[in-house]
Chains A and B, each alone.
Chain A
Amino acid sequence: VLKPSRKLAWIALVALASLAAAQRPPSAAPPGSDSIRIPFERYTLPNGLTVILSPDHTTPTVAVNVWYHVGSKNEVPGRTGFAHLFEHIMFTGSGHVPYGLQDKLTEGVGGNNNGTTSNDRTTYFEIVPSNYLESTLWIESDRMGFLLDTLDINKLNAQRDVVKNERRQSVDNQPYGKVGEIFARATYPAANPYSWDVIGSMDDLSAASAEDVKGFFRTYYAPNNAFLAIVGDFDPAQAKAWVAKYFEEIPRGKPVVRPVVSPVTLPAERRLYYEDRVQVPRLYVLWPTVGEKSDDQYALDVLGSILTGPRTARLTKALVYDSQSAASVGAYQDSNEDVGNFMVVITPRPGHSLTELETAAAAIIEKLKTEGPTAEEVQKATAYEELALVRGLESDLGKAMLLSDNAGFHGDPGYYRTAFQKSMSVTAADVKRVADKYLTKGRVVLSVVPIGKPDEASRATESQKVTGAEDTPRPEVKR
């Protein structure tokens, strides 16, 4: 899932790896294993701000994560990309914190900061030497309470240009870069707020005004829509005093009205192709599935690991190792808060067509749906999850993200342990059931082919050309 960030080059890869690990649901360790317990304390300020504290004195650093329950799904048509543009505005200074000071008090003292935006949430974080916790809380509270005091149209315009460059770098100038927004448009009806991608369109980014910034801030950036997690080397009594000092006076906002998102079922297969500046064609198949709120996500995760990854996984073994018709293949479940999808991606080897690969992959998936996986396949698919989770616990930031996501999406910072139990209990029958239920004809098949070679698309004559998200036909709504 595309999660645009304020910046790319400065965040340590180690932290990213830990995050990826931490976001996987746990499994395979004995239930209640203490090696995956994060001790935390949670409380709520009178203004509605949820605070999560988890001390860990292993290294003399502390991570602060401020998590707002707002993302691209809270945007309105005509202002796509706004939640992410707004994230950039949050770094341009606030009432008492001049522009640039945050970087000086994080990177400039050996720490780091960044923000990321998804469909569902926007999160801001710092990692600092532990003696800089107070200044970090001062900065975060100031932009939560006083962002609009210094809103400057020149800063908005500069960040608008930065975001457009981010879009050029990650979408327009990137081979296969437009796949995400084409799928969003092809899968979800216009009224569904997952029907546009987080990065948004160039036209909508151009249209965003200072008034839009003010309205968005007042609606979504109130303490009652936020979670503050502090993890690392700090004294909880001192941290509580600082949290009260800096955050308590920020007024509660109006209750946030969240979009009602209906699940999507596609009535039939849709076939599209897109000509891109690529040298190698690639096939993408997407099925709408379920999001974070559905327990089927755990069996779908296991299904992805049974299909691709290690050389013994079914699609990998058949296409990359045995027939050697594919250079690579991937299959995975992607869960957002309200919706999700299951995706298969295949890159062919020369001499093998996308049509041939689609047919071969479909046969393997059908066989799995008929037979179901073996118990050993399920065991192998989940055996790594304990290690992945424990490695995530090495990072203060990884833990802060995990606790915030769990609090925001599931109402409990410790929900990861429940998720762990659910993931542990996935059986071969569950995997067969979700494969049957979701991997149906109701899918979108997208071929990305080199410019001028539409005949390289899978079943080209049955596929419709699109040139980007703009002319991608929306799905029929099944009533």
Chain B
Amino acid sequence: MNAWIRRVLVIALAVALVPVALGARQALDRSKIPPPGKAPELRVPKWTTTTLPNGAVLIVSEKHDLPLVSFSILFSGGADQYEPADKRGLAGITASMLSEGTTTRDGEALSNALQLLGTSVNAGIGSESGAIGFVSMTGKFQPTLDILADMMLHSTFPAPALERIRAQRLVALTSAKAQPGAIARRVFPKILYGTAHPFGQLTTEETYKAITRDEVAAFAKAYFQPGRAAVVVTGDITPAAAKAAVEKALAGWPAGGSKPAFSYPPLPPKEPTTIYLVDKPGAAQSTFAIGLPGPPRSTPDYYAIEVVNTLLGGMFQSRLNANIREEKGLSYGVSSMFGFGKGPGPFRAGGDIISSKTDVALVEFMKELRGIQGSRPITDEELQTSKASLVQSLPGMFGSVTSIGSAIGQLWIQGLPDDYYQQYGAKINAVTRADMVRVAKQYIDLDHLAIVIVGDRATIEAPLKATGIAPIKVLDIEGDKARK
């Protein structure tokens, strides 16, 4: 049916319905799926980009329906670029220390001022990027920005505060060792990347204890520099007003810094597919993380990988969840993802499985991973649904001032073009079945998977062995080889 005819029919249907609501009704045929109306046009927010005198990029996107402004300074590069291997955790602690006092206000004074403004300034540094920002009512924007600037440029990093934060992090680290999901999140990258690669290095008691107050101050000074920064302002503000506010608040932010090269060391040699069993005695479920290092975001295969992953484990009715949760009832939910970034982020499939069916679930995971490589053909419906699910979710990314800010900020961080969202649909729709099978084979290498399972060894080891899927290595909760 061509689009014009469809539109006429939709209008006719709409007109025909009104009398039904008002007067005598006809018997309703519920067996017919109501057809969708005309697809709404994609409305991507517009934004302006300028460069500030100190080298930082300023991006402003207006949205005036509510009196809200979202403000973020994004930094290219993160803990995996700037933290020494024996000081893992330094970047995160530095971000927390920004709330501990400046040359003119102590930590309580900062907290009181922000409470009265009804907001908070949040700072965080992740693996490959960092951010400091807030959301405020329009009328509170400038005073909140002034406090952010004070925190970023004039923090004093008092030594006693570092001791308090360090102690809190150590308690959190201890608590995490009781949580199966947290154990898997630590062990999985360590196995995939090894400790010589930043992706495989973990924060530990030792790395936290090695961090000094002077290192925190030096890290902040070196990290929060405009040469690697983008200031992203979205919401109830004009580009001119945003520029004036930023230039006033950040007048004392000297030029300096540059974007990192994101050069990573080589990956460790590939290992044959192995089950890494982390013993958690008495666990009611087994936590699965199956995967291997993947391609960077810049790969030309990005769109094909997104479509194939959506089909495999990106949606509720994806093959993994439809089989393992809905059909077999082995889990509350399983999924898969590619961790795209500048470096070789992982492919990871997993979920929490009832202990007594750990072996059954592993067989099914492997069956589905083989299936998308060609043995189970991709149906027309699967192809269409996977693509539509991705393309038509775009409007949801532009609903709030913070989501608009992060949608635009991602383009800057990943180095993507300004018309990325306009082009997205065509790129996804160009993916073919052959592309999908090719990238599944290439990036989900069944001969070199790490299968991490955190669970009750006494219950699950023998059944896992009996599957014959792969040899088993038993690890402790740190991901190190366990004693027998």
Contacts and interface: CB of A to CB of B under 8 A. Distances in A.
Interface of A: 7-10, 12, 14, 18, 28, 35, 58-61, 95-96, 100-101, 103-105, 107-112, 127, 129-135, 138, 142, 146, 157-162, 164-166, 168-170, 172-175, 233, 237-238, 240-242, 244-246, 248-249, 277-280, 310-312, 317, 320-321, 324, 327-328, 347, 349-350, 379-380, 383-387, 390-391, 393-396
B389 A35 contact: no
Contact of A109 (B43, B353, B389, B402): B389
Given A109-B36, A138-B30, A162-B325, 5 more contacts: A132-B36, A165-B331, A249-B28, A280-B174, A383-B117
B389 A278 contact: no
B333 interface: yes
Of all A-B residue pairs in the complex, the 6 with the closest CB atoms, nearest first, are: A110-B392, A161-B329, A60-B40, A131-B37, A327-B171, A110-B393
B352 interface: yes
A242 B178 contact: no
B94 interface: no
15 contacts: A61-B395, A95-B30, A109-B36, A110-B395, A165-B325, A238-B17, A279-B175, A312-B108, A327-B167, A383-B117, A384-B119, A386-B137, A387-B68, A387-B136, A394-B399
A233 B39 CA distance: 12
A164 B178 CA distance: 21
Interface string B109-130: 0011011111110000000000
B269 interface: no
A121 to B, nearest CB: 22
Contact of B115 (A95, A109, A158, A384): A384
Contact of A110 (B65, B329, B391, B402): B391
A161 to B, nearest CB: 3
A394 B400 contact: yes
B396 interface: yes
Q: Bin the interface of chain B by size.
A: 35 or more
A383 B36 contact: no
Interface in B82-134: 99, 107-108, 111-112, 114-120
B332 A165 contact: yes
A100 B382 CA distance: 12
B300 interface: no
A383 B116 contact: yes
A380 B115 contact: yes
Contact of B332 (A135, A166, A241): A166
Contacts, number: 252
Contacts of A142: 30
Interface string B145-185: 00000000000000000001001101110110111100000
A194 B424 CA distance: 49
B403 interface: yes
Interface stretch (B195-203, B278-286, B436-444): B278-286
Contacts of A350: 167, 170-171
Nearest to B115: A380
A396 B171 CA distance: 39
Contact of B68 (A104, A135, A165, A394): A394
Contact of B396 (A12, A174, A310): A12
Contacts of A100: 317, 322
A169 B25 CA distance: 48
B34 A168 contact: no
A241 B329 contact: no
Contacts of B332: 7-8, 162, 165-166, 168-170
A385 B164 CA distance: 29
B233 to A, nearest CB: 16
A59 to B, nearest CB: 5
A393 B180 CA distance: 36
Nearest to A305: B115
A394 B117 CA distance: 20
A310 to B, nearest CB: 5
Nearest to A161: B329
Given A59-B399, A168-B284, A168-B352, A35 B111 contact: no
A23 B322 CA distance: 33
Nearest to B160: A324
